[in-house]
Amino acid sequence: MTSTAPPSARQTLGLAGLAMFVAAANLRPAIAAVSPLVDRIRADLDLSATGAALLTTVPTLAMGLCAPLAAVAGRRLGLRRGVLLGLIVIAVATAARLAGGPTWLQLSCAAVAGAGIAIAQTLLPAVVKSRFAGRAGLATGVYTAGLGAGGAVAAGVSAPLAGFLGSWPGALASWSVLALAGAAAWTASRRSLALDRTAAPAGPLTTGLPWRSGVAWRATALSAANSALYYCELAWVVPLLQESGLGAGAGMLLTVMIGIQVVAMLAVPAVLGERRDPRAGLTLTAALTALGFAGLALAPATATWLWILALGIGHGGLFTLVLTVPVAVSRDAAEAGRISAMAFFVGYGCAALAPMLVGVLRDATAGFRLAFILLATVAALTIVPIARLRKGASRP
């Protein structure tokens, strides 16, 4: 009679990382799926560019405003069940998009999905701190790669899926299947995640947000800029490239760009290592991101692949490194959760306005040049809070 050997510590950690990857893959399709379908949505709902931007702005704003809900989920449910709740909310809200118009219904679904994303995403840095404390950079890369992969697949598949189904609401609602799969995988990985045995099972956010911490404010500024740039990419890179004469190939370029970002999300922290000063990597990736936006602003139809590559490598690496900041500067999982909640609460609230601002400028100037120059400037200015970061406990 043979017995099954228990999984090794490395296997268990790998399964936990896989569960985090799959869960994170559900944190962007509700937003990324809109961009390739924006022309159909605008036509059916009779929306201007500014109105269409609301489909990205509303969930992003909800992600910021609802980030403190993670505190309630953490206290009452714990880390594992809190993330599970977020995935279920995403699944329900995404499925409700099948009802189609009117506009208020789509915006309501987007807002509820944003609330679910806020809960899951705010708790994940505390999961990293609790379960992957010794490999925080790599673990953050794993879940941000999942996040990017979900966005890339949604951006690339949604338009063909809408054509196959003959319905853009059906294409948007189909991503609820991925959310249900993510919830199932997260549930099945309970033993590997081992979050029920953490030192703070009541949740990561047991006290107020760190309003007086200078490090927390710098992390928040980076989060705001990072998120603003990301959601403007999802919402407006395709329309810009389409107006530049690339037509149907614009959607493919966005998918390629996000695919490069996924690779960079994993590669950059692996290359930098866990113990190096994060400021050098943050500065380099911010500069590449600024270059990509500037290139799309000034010469979108010239050397397009160069700008896509710069945004892919630059913003992919920047995204992971920014999300690593709360873990790097905190003393424990509770503090990492509080800094993340503040960064998401304030950062996403500010970032939500960026896609709408681009839409307003597009309507006012009949082009994207000014808007993308401003985005390049924002990317360059992130070097200011980056230069003042310090590794260690979050003190003023």
Q: What is the pLDDT of residues 324-357, one digit of tens each?
A: 888 777 777 667 777 877 887 787 777 788 888 9
How far is 323 from 285, CA to CA, in rounded Å? 13
> pLDDT grade, residue 35 (50/70/90)?
confident
Among the listed ranges 238-247, 254-263, 272-281, which one has the minimum average pLDDT value? Answer: 272-281
Per-residue pLDDT, averaged over 205-228, amounts to 81
Closest to 333 in 3D by CA, of 27, 70, 8: 70
- DSSP label at residue 316: H
State residue 186's pLDDT score: 87
In sign, the C-alpha dihedral spanning 268, 269, 272, 277 is positive
Among the listed ranges 153-157, 253-257, 265-269, 276-280, which one has the minimum average pLDDT value? Answer: 276-280
How far is 310 from 232, CA to CA, in rounded Å? 16
| The most confident of 197-211, 218-232, 322-336, 379-393, by mean pLDDT | 218-232
> pLDDT grade, residue 136 (50/70/90)?
low
pLDDT at residue 110 is higher than 70 = yes
How far is 77 from 80, CA to CA, in rounded Å? 8
Closest to 82 in 3D by CA, of 61, 68, 96: 68
Angle (nearest 5°) at CA 394 between 389 and 396: 80
Q: Do 344 and 118 touch, CB atoms closer than 8 A? A: yes
> pLDDT grade, residue 320 (50/70/90)?
confident
Q: Which two tokens stand for residue 185?
A: 């995988």
Per-residue pLDDT, averaged over 300-306, amounts to 92
How far is 312 from 261, CA to CA, in rounded Å? 4
How far is 303 from 296, CA to CA, in rounded Å? 9
**Count of all residues that appear for the chain in the document:** 396
pLDDT at residue 396 is higher than 50 = no
Residue type, 72: V
pLDDT at residue 52 is higher than 60 = yes
Burial class (CB in 10 A: 0-12, 13-18, 19+), 283: middle
Q: Which two tokens stand for residue 91?
A: 């699944």
Angle (nearest 5°) at CA 146 between 342 and 310: 85
pTM: 0.75
Q: Which two tokens stand for residue 188?
A: 């099945």
How far is 103 from 109, CA to CA, in rounded Å? 10
> pLDDT grade, residue 196 (50/70/90)?
low
pLDDT at residue 120 is higher than 80 = yes
How far is 80 from 89, CA to CA, in rounded Å? 15
Beta strands in the chain (DSSP E): none
How far is 265 from 243, CA to CA, in rounded Å? 29
pLDDT at residue 20 is higher than 80 = yes
Q: Comparing 199 with 392, which gets the higher pLDDT?
A: 392
Residue type, 132: F
How far is 195 from 198, CA to CA, in rounded Å? 5
Residue type, 183: A
Number of Cβ within 10 Å of residue 170's Cβ equals 15
Q: What is the mean pLDDT of the chain?
A: 82
| The most confident of 7-21, 125-139, 376-390, by mean pLDDT | 376-390
State residue 384's pLDDT score: 92
Domains of the chain are 10-387 (1.20.1250.20)
